[in-house]
Structure 1
């Protein structure tokens, strides 16, 4: 039972790679093996570090409290993923007006907030296509590094929560790395074949799965 719980958690964390790969395939952005490997290794390392930290913290407090805290954290992380995906879905299916400012010469300027390097990562999370900084139509090693850091942000909270809740095992990092590589590759391949996009409403599923695993710690 514990093994399957770990596998479900690994899939929920890794499935973001499928959406990213699908997006790049649909936009005809080249995503070679080396960038895919970089992206997968970063996700695996992020989960390993935070999961190990969660295990260490769990050893400092009572087991019941650790499992409760871990469950709460998984619920929060899953809830945030669901919320952010719903917001993005609504944003992409509406036509909001851009905030425009006119300078003294009448030229129109669009206000934007750019916080480097965090701002770059936030932009990638909202729209993975922005990882192609130079608009070359392909993802290079540096862009893959930035993309990997962006995807790892979701994995950090889930890894820490899994460690506290007692879900985390060292091999889960390897599973996540392999699955991220596999999902990204499959998503890219399908995206290059399909004209339509992955329905936005389906993107809430990973968050719901992580929330479900969090609720399991209370029963």
Structure 2
């Protein structure tokens, strides 16, 4: 598989959940400005670059014959975790102060990012949503350094794709069925596929 296509699929895997989360936010009539969407995308890309850089630093200390296999297995593990999060029975969403310390709740119930229930994602709520979207990005960034993905190119792609998908999701969410949440299964599946490709 070509390097460009492989990097694109990787960027898609860690960004596509932004569309599903954006749709769910839109369905709840919660708005978020383009400026704040860009801030969230930059946070996601920065988290990826930080973890990928750490992975590049650790890589020389690991036997190269095992490094790629380790990265592939890590991606499969992340993918399985995301699938588990998707199939786990959702709890009734409550937009309260717990969202500040539990960004994982935002992945299950995106509307909880609107802590003050104002109908707008603003202020520190942008950080909550950004951290939630960066959880899998951070983990995938570290793993990517072992399977030959260029950090800067992938980080730039993640920023662009996250911006587009989150913006599109929010703007079209109110027009779509709640079944759009099923798109959340794609990141896990794609990461597992990428990991399996690198294993064979």
User: What is the TM-score normalised by the length of structure 2?
Assistant: 0.90
Structure number with higher helix proportion: 2
Give yes or no for contact 1:159–1:168 (8 Å, CA) kept in 2.
no
Q: What residue is the counterpart of 2:157 in the other structure?
A: 175
> Is 1:211–2:186 an aligned residue pair?
no
CA–CA separation in structure 1 for the residues paired with 2:157 and 2:70: 24
Q: Would the alpha carbon gap of residues 199 and 139 (structure 1) be closer, same or farther in structure 2, given more than 3 Å must change?
A: closer
Q: What residue is the counterpart of 2:175 in the other structure?
A: 193
Give yes or no for contact 1:81–1:207 (8 Å, CA) kept in 2.
yes
> Is 1:149–2:131 an aligned residue pair?
yes
Cα shift at 1:52: 1.4
Give yes or no for contact 2:75–2:143 (8 Å, CA) kept in 1.
yes
Secondary structure at the counterpart of residue 28 of structure 1 = coil
Q: What residue is the counterpart of 1:66 in the other structure?
A: 67
Aligned residue runs from structure 1 range 1-219, under 5 A:
1-87=2-88, 90-91=89-90, 117-119=100-102, 121-194=103-176, 196-219=177-200
Cα shift at 1:126: 2.1
State how many pairs are aligned: 195
Give yes or no for contact 1:78–1:211 (8 Å, CA) kept in 2.
yes
Runs of 5+ consecutive residues of structure 1 not aligned to the other structure: 97-113
CA–CA separation in structure 2 for the residues paired with 1:4 and 1:168: 12
Secondary structure at the counterpart of residue 8 of structure 1 = helix
User: What is the TM-score normalised by the length of structure 1?
Assistant: 0.83
Cα shift at 1:206: 1.3
CA–CA separation in structure 1 for the residues paired with 2:122 and 2:159: 19
Runs of 5+ consecutive residues of structure 2 not aligned to the other structure: none
Per-residue CA distance 1:155-199 (angstroms, 9 max, x = gap):
1111111112222431110110010000001111211323x1134
CA-atom RMSD in angstroms: 1.8
CA–CA separation in structure 2 for the residues paired with 1:75 and 1:49: 21
Q: Would the alpha carbon gap of residues 150 and 192 (structure 1) be closer, same or farther in structure 2, given more than 3 Å must change?
A: same
Per-residue CA distance 1:113-167 (angstroms, 9 max, x = gap):
x868533x13222211011011100010311111101111111111111112222
Q: What residue is the counterpart of 1:105 in the other structure?
A: none
Give yes or no for contact 1:68–1:218 (8 Å, CA) kept in 2.
yes
